[in-house]
Structure 1
Amino acid sequence: MKKLFLLLLLSLPLKLSAQFWLTREEKYFFVATGLDLRNAVFGGTVNPASYDGTFSGGYRNGGFGVIATYENFTGIRYESFGVCPAWVIRPGKMLIPVADLSLSFIKRPWKVYPSLAANGIIEYHFDRFFIYLRGEYRWRTDYDFFQASVYGGIAVKFGFP
């Protein structure tokens, strides 16, 4: 009897910590804004340190999501916009890894180019918002090379009742 009581007592923190890592929403819309941290701190391959902003909106339903993105970098006259199918690795948790594939276009003053990127995202969820850190590896078809970037930002969730 004492061993059973001890076992139940020891399993209680595991149960409480598992509930701590769970969130309520697995199906929601969100809007987000962020910036390219690498460009803001170190600069890029063709520019000094400057602001490169991102705006996005999306929908999540359990392990799948879709994100529409827009990026504006006025310092080098660069814009991109696209759609990203996303795979949520641990839906319903507070710390969520996400992988997505960005199917996008790069708009330069002289032409519009198709582009492709692979993204790895780590999100930390609160009740109605989350913060994120996103690593991106993009095929820059406007210059024909691959570029790595790191973005950070915040998103607001709009859940279902």
Structure 2
Amino acid sequence: MKKIFLLLLLILPIQAIAQYWISREDTYFFVSTGLDLRNATFGGTVNPAAYDGTWTAGYRNENFGIHAYYETFSAIRYESAGVNPEYIFRPGKMLIPVADISLSFIRRPWKVYPSLAMNVRMEYHFSRFFVYVRGESRWRTDYDFFQFSVYGGVSFKFGFPK
């Protein structure tokens, strides 16, 4: 009986805290898709116009967020994947600036390289989704230079109260 009582004493506060976090409108999961706008329209420094797409899944709770992403750019045989902790400047608003650091890897046919990037994003939120424009400054360790890119995309929110 004492074990059940102790278990209830542990579960109830955890459940109450979790319910508070989940019940907030600025706490949600999201999935995103986007593309490099410059590469899609004009081409890059080493390629003609081609698809350079990203897929993302993440979680946000007020000012903190974290997401994992995958990027594929088959025209130059480039892939990258990573995890980005992020800071949300105005949670709960319609126009939200976000800054994050990308801790990632670049995969080329000949080798895998660690990589680091700084991102700033401007998001416009609707009830169930948001659109974004993101500027990225990535240290391209596969060629040892910094690359600036601009991405755009759409994200779908889920896991919050209706």
Report TM bin, short chain. 0.7 to 0.9
Deviation at 1:159, TM superposition (A): 2.9
Alignment-derived partner of residue 106 in structure 1: 106
1:117 maps to 117
2:88 is matched with 88
2:97 alignment partner in structure 1 = 97
What residue identity is the alignment partner of 1:148? Answer: F
Q: Distance in 2 between matches of 1:92 and 1:26?
A: 5
State whether residues 70 and 79 of structure 1, in contact with CA within 8 Å, keep that contact through their aligned partners in structure 2. Answer: yes
Q: Distance in 2 between matches of 1:155 and 1:145?
A: 30
C-alpha distance in 2, partners of 1:82/1:151?
A: 16
What's 1:65 paired with?
65
1:27 matched residue in structure 2: 27
Match of 1:75 in 2: 75
AA of the residue aligned to 1:160: F
Equivalents in 1 of 2:125, 2:81: separation in Å?
A: 25
* Unaligned stretches of 5+ residues in structure 2: 1-23
| Matched residue count | 138
* 1:157 pairs with 2:157: yes
Measure the CA separation in 2 of the matches of 1:131 and 1:46: 28
The answer to whether the 8 Å contact 1:28/1:157 transfers is yes
| Overall identity of the aligned pairs, in % | 74
Q: Is the 8 A contact 1:36 1:152 kept in 2?
A: yes
The one-letter code matched in structure 2 to 1:115 is S
Q: Which residue of 2 aligns with 1:147?
A: 147
Q: Deviations over 1:98-151 (max 9, x none)?
A: 000000000000000000000000000001000000000000000000000000
Structure 1 gaps of 5+ residues are 1-23
How much does 1:25 deviate? 1.9
Letter in 2 for 1:43: G
User: 1:51 aligns to what?
Assistant: 51
1:128 paired to 2:128: yes
In structure 2, how many angstroms separate the alpha carbons of the residues matched to 1:45 and 1:104? 22
CA contact (8 A) 1:95 1:125 kept: yes
CA distance in 1, matches of 2:136, 2:70: 14
